[in-house]
């Protein structure tokens, strides 16, 4: 299906992944309100709570085993990031309901809940394909760790503010040797996360591109780089001076890396399908979250 198309699809089996601590405990209250509206429309629903220890994975796996055909998250961006990584192997669409603070990824808000739900229940919504990154850390001839990222893969020094030296290759072609605090390799979805704070560009969420954004580089000529999403990116760790370098996916799973390690990053084959209300407007979200002026 083409990104941005509107489809008439009946919503009938919805599993909720709920972060009960979001919004000061508002996740549970919001779920009850949504559940009431969905039940009145004959939708079969169930709720699965996230946990601090297991994240969203146990909830998502339980929902998939039960045969639910849609996953709705109730929480903030952290909840949806957790859920997406757990859904990376499944062809199940998802919707984000926001009770967090920022909400770049979750676009149904409590104040607009009733009208947004009515549109979705009528089958009037936008369907959007977004890709993830998969990371592998190679030490010698062995892959020592793997991970998936919806926002970004970040290589940085753990615990202390120290520079590191690393080499960047794209499709096995040498690009640069840098000294910096680290580097962010981001999807278009992640271009409004850490990459944005590090001075990277905002990419529309549906673009087929990956951004490489150095963090506090030790040269003024170092700039963010945008490459095709089919590119295979390799970060080779050189010297870390003091401190231990780490690679992390979405700021969640981190692993120590040593001089000589290769961090291999590429687009994951399976995409995540996100459903948005009919009135979803990506640029309106940017205006609201980044406090841009709204002249018409």
pLDDT band at 52 (very low <50, low <70, confident <90, very high): low
- Residue closest to 240 by CA, chosen among 194, 179, 185: 179
* pLDDT tier for residue 7 given thresholds of 50, 70 and 90: very low
Evaluate whether residue 296 is within a structural domain.
no
Task: Please check whether residues 259 and 153 belong to one and the same domain.
Answer: yes
Residues of the chain above pLDDT 90, percent: 43
- Looking at the fold, whether 141 and 214 belong to one and the same domain comes out as yes
Beta bridge partners of 88: none
Domain identity same for 139 and 204: yes
pLDDT band at 100 (very low <50, low <70, confident <90, very high): low
Is 117 inside a domain boundary?
A: yes
Beta-strand pair 182-186/209-215:
antiparallel
pLDDT digit string, tens, across residues 158-197: 777 778 999 999 999 999 999 999 999 999 999 999 999 9
Tell me how many domains the chain contains: 2
Evaluate the CA torsion angle 30, 35, 38, 44 in order and state its sign: positive
111 noted as active-site residue: no
The model's pTM is 0.89
According to DSSP, the residues that pair with 256 across neighbouring strands are 246
Is residue 184 included in any domain, yes or no?
Answer: yes
Q: In this predicted structure, what is the pLDDT of residue 101?
A: 67
Q: Which of 5, 12, 36, 77 is catalytic?
A: 77
Do 171 and 237 have their domain in common?
A: yes
State which residues form the domain around 50. 6-124+278-290
Which pLDDT tens digit goes with each residue over 183-193? 999 999 999 99
Do 99 and 178 share a domain, yes or no? no
Q: What is the pLDDT of residue 1?
A: 31
Model confidence at 285, pLDDT cuts 50, 70, 90, reads: confident
pLDDT of residue 239: 77
In a domain, 295, yes or no: no
Same domain, 227 and 141: yes
Q: What is the pLDDT of residue 216?
A: 92
- Looking at the structure, do residues 156 and 240 belong to the same domain, yes or no? yes
pLDDT at residue 135 greater than cutoff 60: yes
């Amino acid at each position: 299906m083409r990104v941005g198309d509107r489809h008439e699809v009946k919503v009938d089996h919805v599993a909720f992944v709920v972060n009960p601590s979001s919004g000061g405990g508002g996740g549970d209250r919001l779920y009850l309100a949504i559940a009431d509206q969905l039940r009145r429309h004959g939708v079969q629903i169930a709720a699965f709570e996230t946990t601090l220890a297991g994240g969203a994975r146990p909830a998502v796996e339980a929902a998939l085993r039960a045969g639910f055909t849609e996953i709705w998250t109730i929480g903030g961006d952290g909840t949806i990031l957790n859920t997406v990584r757990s859904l990376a192997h499944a062809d199940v669409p998802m919707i984000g309901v926001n009770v967090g603070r920022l909400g770049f990824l979750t676009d149904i808000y409590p104040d607009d809940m009733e009208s947004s739900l009515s549109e979705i229940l009528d089958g009037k919504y936008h369907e959007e394909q977004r890709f993830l990154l998969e990371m592998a850390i190679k030490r010698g001839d062995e892959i020592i760790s793997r991970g998936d990222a919806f926002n970004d893969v970040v290589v940085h020094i753990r615990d202390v503010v120290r520079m590191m030296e690393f080499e960047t290759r794209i499709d096995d072609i040498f690009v640069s040797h840098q000294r910096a605090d680290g580097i962010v390799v981001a999807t278009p979805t992640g271009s409004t996360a850490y990459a944005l704070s590090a001075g990277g560009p905002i990419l529309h969420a549906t673009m087929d591109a990956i951004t490489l954004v150095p963090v506090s580089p030790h040269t003024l000529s170092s700039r963010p780089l945008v490459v095709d999403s089919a590119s295979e990116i390799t970060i080779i760790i050189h010297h870390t001076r003091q401190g231990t370098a780490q690679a992390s996916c979405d700021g969640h799973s981190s692993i120590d890396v040593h001089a000589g390690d290769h961090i291999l990053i590429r687009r994951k084959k399976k995409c995540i399908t996100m459903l948005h209300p009919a009135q979803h407007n990506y640029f309106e979200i940017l205006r609201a979250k980044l406090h841009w002026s709204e002249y018409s």
